[in-house]
Amino acid sequence: MFFVVVLTVLSLPFLWWYFFLQKFKSLSLIPGPRLLPIVGNAFDIGDSPTGLFNNCAKLLNQYGDVFKLFIGNECKVFIANADFLEEIMSSNVHIKKSKAYDSVKPFLNDGLLTSTGSKWKKRRKLITPTFHFKILDQFLEVFNSSTDILIAKLSSEVGKDWTDIYPYINLFSLDVICETAMGVKISSQEGKNSEYVQALFHYLDNTTVRGFSAWKRFDFLFKFAAEYPLHEKSLDTLQKFPTGLLEKRRLEKSQEVVENTSDIGMKRRVALLDLLLESEDLTNDDIKEEISTFMFAGHDTTTSAVTFALLALAENPEIQQTVHEEILAVVGDEKYVSMQHLQDTKYLEMVIKEVQRKYSVVPLVERQLEMDATICGIDFPRGATLSLYLYGVHHNEKYFPDPEKFDPDRFLSHRQSERHNYAFVPFSAGPRNCVGQKFAMLAMKVIIIKILKEFKIIQVPDHKPQLGMAAVLKSYNGVRIRLMRRDTDFNGPLRTVCVVVLFFEKVSIS
């Protein structure tokens, strides 16, 4: 009898595994690597941000732009196909985030990024006006002043063999998101609040790995992981940060003199936090979860996008030269970058889009099906995780031939019109697209314009970024460039006229 009981207990996990696989039998035609019992493909995907990134790319090359993985108690279908993305992203039904996002809920709770259903719709409606075009115009002052501080800091790096640009941009982005979206000036570029930056880095590394681990995804088992103490310490820092911002902004608002309203009915320099504070339906906890969400979504993504843009310009000096000529033609010797300047720098916008393609800042987003669904002719069962592999679709040769080549001309208007609408989705698409995408584009343009006016960016020989996937794309050996001062001997009106002529002879943007 004892042996029967033991045999029954030992067989239960395998019985569970059998019935689990049967649930996803309709996906049998989707390719994927061979499975191990219980853990599935956990060993095929890696246990580090760099391992995740490299193995996802290998699996894409091996199995094509739609493949599946079984990891513990979850079936993930990786999708790097624009037809599938269109059906999923444009849907008003398939909007629930996957289980992987549960690991960030102790940090973000149930904010805009992780919530679903009526709560998400209500928050989205509340927050969207914060990114009105005229509100964004008011943020340009912060973009300009924060970049001026950054340039002063970078001046000490001129002439060195190399500079890791990532830490500088990281603190710049933190300043910008706090002063614009939160309405609070924290001066992180002056050496303050760097603890938050380090905490976010470690926390996102751990939570991303947990999403692809057969055992670390479970809270009880994760407590035995070597990285658990640092994870908890990082979480504590991240949870305290929004409380401090909220208290500081409330104090400042109580001391402010109410300004006249603008023509769109909002006070000058309205911030997301002000909008939340004015809502009668939100508790303190509600407000703090949205602060955390926007700090994460606006800070880390901007940092990665700008650093990879500077790296790409260093690696492609001829493109950098064309961007610099456009900047001189459009901005000239003016120190303040205006909204008109940003609208007129068309080639720079193409360059930024190519950066977002080659170095997809958000490599992967996930949805979990709440009902059975047929997508592009394939029957997906309820509970399947759709891993929308944005990095994969942006490197899919069907849409972007020679995908490793950096080529801003891919985004000439006539070439964009020939491409699938969902082949380029750096800010996601559909009802759950990024609400702050215009904010991000304007911030990126300002910083690149001002840096290129001041410095020439040079490639560091033999430096190749060690890419990893930790919610956003990062380089785990830094982003190294060299900085040199621009030659200012030839300047003034004559220089501007000459540059305008040369630029428009060189570049034709249709």
pLDDT of residue 265: 44
pLDDT of residue 489: 41
475/471 Cα distance (integer angstroms)? 13
Q: What is the pLDDT of residues 66-85, one digit of tens each?
A: 999 999 889 999 999 999 99
Structural domain for 311, as ranges: 2-506
Counted domains in the chain: 1
Cβ–Cβ under 8 Å, residues 474 and 468: yes
Cβ–Cβ under 8 Å, residues 193 and 459: no
Phi-psi region of 267 (alpha: psi -120 to 50; beta: other; left: phi over 0): beta
CATH number (domain holding residue 35): 1.10.630.10
Cβ–Cβ under 8 Å, residues 50 and 468: yes
Q: The tokens of 63 are what? A: 């199995």
- Would you write out the chain's pLDDT as a tens digit for each of its 510 residues? 666 556 666 677 778 888 888 999 999 999 999 998 888 898 888 889 999 999 999 999 999 999 999 998 899 999 999 999 999 999 999 999 998 888 888 888 888 888 888 888 888 888 887 777 777 888 899 999 999 999 999 999 999 999 999 999 999 999 999 898 888 888 889 876 578 888 988 898 888 888 888 888 888 889 999 999 999 999 999 888 888 888 888 888 777 644 444 444 444 556 778 888 888 788 888 888 888 888 888 888 999 999 999 999 999 999 999 999 999 999 999 999 999 999 999 999 999 999 999 999 999 999 999 999 999 999 999 999 999 999 999 999 999 999 999 999 999 999 999 999 999 999 999 999 988 899 999 999 999 999 999 999 999 999 999 999 988 999 999 999 999 999 754 444 545 544 444 455 455 544
Closest CA to 345 of 437, 484, 475, 453: 453
What residues contact residue 464 under an 8 Å CB cut-off, 6+ apart? none
Residue with tokens 């460039």: 481
Rounded to two decimals, the pTM is: 0.89
Give 165-198 as a DSSP string: -HHHHHHHHHHHHHHHTS-----GGGT-SHHHHH
